[in-house]
Amino acid sequence: MADLRIPSVQHLARNWRGDSKTIARALVRLALNPPRFNYNPLYGAVRDMLVLGVPYDDVVKGIQKIKREKVRQNLLGVLPLIRDHFAGVSPDFFQAIDKRYYPVGRGLMVPFEPPMIYGVEGQLYFPWFSFWRQNPLSNERLSLFVTLVDEILMQDPDLETARFEVLDFSCRSPKQARELRVIDARDIPRLDDHRKTEMLECFAAGYFQALEELAGAPPPPPGGQKDDRAPDPNQPGLFD
């Protein structure tokens, strides 16, 4: 049986579709052809530059040690945008956040693990890094993600006043370079409880349908993808 990992909050939003059967098909495809690439080195790069004061050129040299060329070039395509965004930022503090879980329905608990928070002159910042090259969260899927994150943040008195920003590093078209679009979460419409529950129930139904389908499917070939393509999941891995 192919391994269908429980999606994180952002991957739930991205893989949401209008009916459970379409969600199930999307999740089955992902389980049978999982990505072999993540953006974890970029989180380390942010920490090194913001907290440790590591020079940008040294961070680049670290990324250049990655053996797979397409992976290396993908990371280097994002790194200058990260540098420019945080240029001049001197945080008073910087810390990782413990993983939390959000109940979707039918016993399905999806993980939510923010990469970091930091404070500058009394203002707490919560950046969410969206590294998808194409088809980033938008419209109702973005509203679903922001709505769920809001609920999670409001449960923690230390985070409820944080400025929540989505840092979208996608391309406008496949042939163009990445650009950084900073989305203030306050500008994203929230879903009402009825629509949120409806969407979550639909996703949960699709997830369990996918599990049933995969139970009778042959396992994927050892090692997954054999070529050197660099699939483009979000942080830190498709279902992390």
pLDDT in tens, 144-164: 999 999 999 888 888 888 999
34, amino acid identity: P
Spatial contact of 142 and 13, defined as CB atoms under 8 Å apart: yes
Does residue 226 fall inside a structural domain? no
Spatial contact of 146 and 136, defined as CB atoms under 8 Å apart: no
Give how many domains the chain has, as a whole number: 1
pTM as predicted: 0.86
Spatial contact of 231 and 49, defined as CB atoms under 8 Å apart: no
pLDDT in tens, 189-232: 999 999 999 999 999 999 999 999 998 766 655 554 443 334 44
Does residue 228 fall inside a structural domain? no
Please give the span between the terminal C-alpha atoms of the chain, in angstroms, as a whole number.
19
Is 70 exceeded by the pLDDT of residue 74? yes
Does residue 144 fall inside a structural domain? yes
Does residue 182 fall inside a structural domain? yes
- pLDDT category of residue 98 using cuts at 50, 70 and 90: confident
pLDDT at 175: 84
Instruction: Look at the alpha carbons of 189, 148, 91, 158 in this order and tell me if their dihedral is positive or negative.
Output: positive
Is 60 exceeded by the pLDDT of residue 30? yes
Does residue 76 fall inside a structural domain? yes
Report which of residues 240 and 104 the model is more confident about.
Answer: 104
pLDDT in tens, 48-72: 999 889 999 999 999 999 988 988 9
CA pair distance 153, 37, nearest whole angstrom: 28
Is 80 exceeded by the pLDDT of residue 237? no
Range of the domain at 60: 9-215
In 3-state terms, what secondary structure has residue 10?
Answer: helix
Does residue 224 fall inside a structural domain? no
Tokens 């969260």, located at residue: 137
CA pair distance 41, 74, nearest whole angstrom: 11
- Check which CATH number belongs to the domain holding 68 and give it: 3.90.320
DSSP string computed for 12-23: HHHT--SSHHHH
Does residue 147 fall inside a structural domain? yes
Spatial contact of 98 and 117, defined as CB atoms under 8 Å apart: no
Does residue 115 fall inside a structural domain? yes
Residues linked to residue 183 through DSSP beta bridges, in sequence order: 166
Report which of residues 27 and 106 the model is more confident about.
Answer: 27
